[in-house]
Amino acid sequence: MLATLSLRALCAADRNGILRLLESAGNFSAAEIAVGMELVDHALARPGQADYRFVVAEDGSGIAGYACWGLASLSDGTWDLYWIAVSPDRQGRGFGRQITEHCEADVRREGGRCLLIETSSRAGYEGTLAFYRSLGYEVLARLKDYYTTGDDKVILGKYFPR
């Protein structure tokens, strides 16, 4: 049975909680965390901006997870899921699935054709890949040694009938 989760818009008070979440996730480098927080700060500094959409998930004990997604520049209905993370102590309860489904519903509402996800092939991401596969995402491309030698960029995606 799915645990109760409420999904809501990002607000300024979420900044520290999201930072703690990214730091505790375990598989993000300092540089990746900095980029993730840049997107949070971009959105908080520009109310009404449409480049980066956010959803924050709460389960009664604070921030349980969040996601950030947006329309790929110059595309006709291709969307990117830039970030998704669930607090380590709340993983495996269906929260990641609910958050992703929220993003997918938004993309479909906007007439989006597909949602893409870029991730890493390095050790520690096996569970993340299994997560996306279980949600119906397929590996569309793999760019060998993209991040560094031995660390490929894996591009997954799901297409939505219009």
134, 136, 138, 143: residue in contact with ligand COA (rule CB under 6 A): 134
Q: Provide, rounded to whole angstroms, the least separation between the CB of residue 94 and ligand COA.
A: 4
CA 97 to each of CA 1, 74, 102, 137, 158: distance values in angstroms, whole numbers, following the listed order = 13, 28, 9, 12, 14
- 124 contacts 26 by C-beta, under 8 angstroms: yes
Q: Provide, rounded to whole angstroms, the least separation between the CB of residue 152 and ligand COA.
A: 13
15, 17, 27, 146: residue in contact with ligand COA (rule CB under 6 A): 27
Site for ligand COA in 49-108 (CB under 6 A): 84-86, 91-97
Does residue 156 bind ligand COA (CB under 6 A)? Answer: no
Q: What is the DSSP letter of 46?
A: S
Q: Report residue 93: phi and psi, to 5°.
A: -110, 10
Which CB, 32 or 106, lies closer to ligand COA? 32
The two structure tokens encoding residue 51:
């480049």
For 127, counting Cβ atoms within 10 Å of its Cβ (0-12 exposed, 13-18 middle, 19+ buried), the class is exposed
Does residue 36 bind ligand COA (CB under 6 A)? Answer: no
The count of C-alpha atoms lying within 13 angstroms of the C-alpha of 161, restricted to the half-sphere facing its C-beta, is 0
- Window contacting ligand COA (CB under 6 A); options: 40-48, 50-58, 126-134, 142-150: 126-134
The residue ranges that bind ligand COA (CB under 6 A) are: 25, 27, 84-86, 91-97, 119, 127-128, 130-131, 134
